[in-house]
Amino acid sequence: IFISDAQRVYYVPSGIFHKLAIEAIPLDGERFGDNYSFYRLSSARELIPDNDSTPLNSAQLYGGLTYGNDIKPLVRSLQEVTDISNMLNGVMDQQTLVADKGTKESFMQMNCKAPNILHLSTHGFYYSLTDQNLPSSLEGYNDAMSLSGLVMSGGSLSSRLGLLTADEVAQCNLSNTDIACLASCHSGQGEVTSEGIYGLQRAFKKAGAKTVIMNLWEASDVATQCFMTNFYSDLIHGSKDRHKAF
């Protein structure tokens, strides 16, 4: 479904379109996103104005996490969440979980007490059943919701410790979360079905998060740090509009 409103384009992706960044498609030396503002919706029902929206007043940040020996650290992740935390200081209640504090258990325990902003700077993963690199710890699982997720503190692909799967995220109550930001490689990947992408995309929306920011590809942690700090700077101190800030 595509609905055009002057320079705005509202669309509900289907099938393979879930795995495409339409805004980045080249157009006469530019990108579609340079000339049109694209609004990706889960359902056309989201076009109905939300009169119950409340100001952002709480945040929980994950970053600079320590992993098992088989997971490489994200060098700029700690600086990323530190910079964001400094921006939010004095603006809203916040909690920053780094090193060994950003556990899978700390995420699961949020449940109905989830913050308005949830920022996760960590590794994301998605494997298909035919993937030659499928870790032995994930063998035996045959659904995309169990083969995709985020690596939390102490995370190890060889032992499955510290792996927060999409299936586990979907069981949480994140209805209080306005923005779930997954500053993670491949966090937008998953299995394409007639009902959408089975993976973290579906998990966070099913859990109730209103806006989800994800990455379809690999991303430099240096570029991610720069992008995210600028995003939050405009969100908090600039336009205060999540779409414009993005």
User: What pLDDT, on a 0 to 100 scale, did the predictor assign at position 193?
Assistant: 66
CB of 81 closer than 8 Å to CB of 141: no
Digit-coded pLDDT (tens) for 19-45: 777 888 888 888 888 888 887 776 666
Percentage of the residues of the chain whose pLDDT score is greater than 90: 51
Say if residue 227's pLDDT is above 70. yes
User: What pLDDT, on a 0 to 100 scale, did the predictor assign at position 12?
Assistant: 78
What pairing do the DSSP bridges indicate for beta strands 117-120 and 30-31? unpaired
For the question of whether the overall pTM of this predicted structure is more than 0.85, the answer is no
Structure-token match 């325990």, residue found: 109
Digit-coded pLDDT (tens) for 82-140: 999 999 999 999 999 999 999 999 999 987 789 999 999 999 999 988 888 898 889 88
Q: Which residue, 231, 57, 62, 239, is CA-closest to 162? A: 62
